[in-house]
Amino acid sequence: MRDVAAAVLIVAAVAVFRLAGPLAGGETALLLANISPLAAVVVGGAIYMPRRAAFMVPFGALFVSTLVVNAVRGWPLISPYTAVVALCFALVFALAWLVRGTRRVSAVLGVTVAGTVIFYVLSNTVAWFFEPAYAPSAAGWLQAQTVGLPIPGAPPAWWFFAKSLAGDLLFSSLMIAVCHPRAQRAAAPETVVPVVPVLASEVSVAESGAVCAPEVYPHPVHS
């Protein structure tokens, strides 16, 4: 029951955070754009969560929050872009699964950075492929990965990457602070107490209340 409550809380938190920008609008929406706890939940789920929840909780959060955000914005609930986002996060999940159960914080942060790069490059490649304003060439692809389209008042594409990376590292650090100590305690080997064999003579001495062990004579005793 506790695990179910935690999963529902994570899904709700992701949905609320993703809705904060669109509902606020204006400069707040621009400020929060591309900053989301979703990537951290995907990485943390693959590394720290139990096997049953590792996939269902992160992608449940993705599915529910995407439906809510698209409904609020008036976008189609399911679109090709939704499928691209799901594919990107699936690749990030697979990468994080390779280091599942790791005790190294550096490995978790490294997967987070790699996941951010994968998501950024793939999503911008799809935008370059389908957006007619980009030239169908290597130069057009490079433009999509760096400055983006020249939209008045819009920041360059690399600025969104920087924000994504900062947000992913922030939320992954929070995930590490919460989950990593518990994972280390769970993986710590149990202390094994050695079993010392007890001689029959020692048992008889203990039962008789004697303080000292029986004498051992180095030479035979003659009567």
Q: Tell me: the pLDDT tens digits for 164-199?
A: 999 899 888 888 888 877 666 665 555 555 555 555
Q: Kindly indicate the confidence band of residue 65, based on its pLDDT and cuts at 50, 70 and 90.
A: confident
State pLDDT tens for residues 105-130: 999 999 999 999 999 999 999 999 99
State pLDDT tens for residues 79-100: 888 888 899 999 999 999 999 9
* Residue 18 included in any domain: yes
Strand ranges inside 90-136, DSSP E = none
* Residue 218 included in any domain: no
- Name the token pair of 99: 């280091």
* Residue 60 included in any domain: yes
- Give the whole-angstrom CA distance, residue 61 versus residue 66: 8
Give the CA dihedral 91, 94, 96, 100, nearest 10 degrees: 170
* Residue 101 included in any domain: yes
Q: How many domains does the chain have?
A: 1
* Residue 215 included in any domain: no
* Residue 194 included in any domain: no
- Give the whole-angstrom CA distance, residue 223 versus residue 216: 17
* Residue 193 included in any domain: no
Give me the domain span that covers residue 14. 2-187
* Residue 89 included in any domain: yes
- pLDDT at residue 35, rounded to an integer: 81
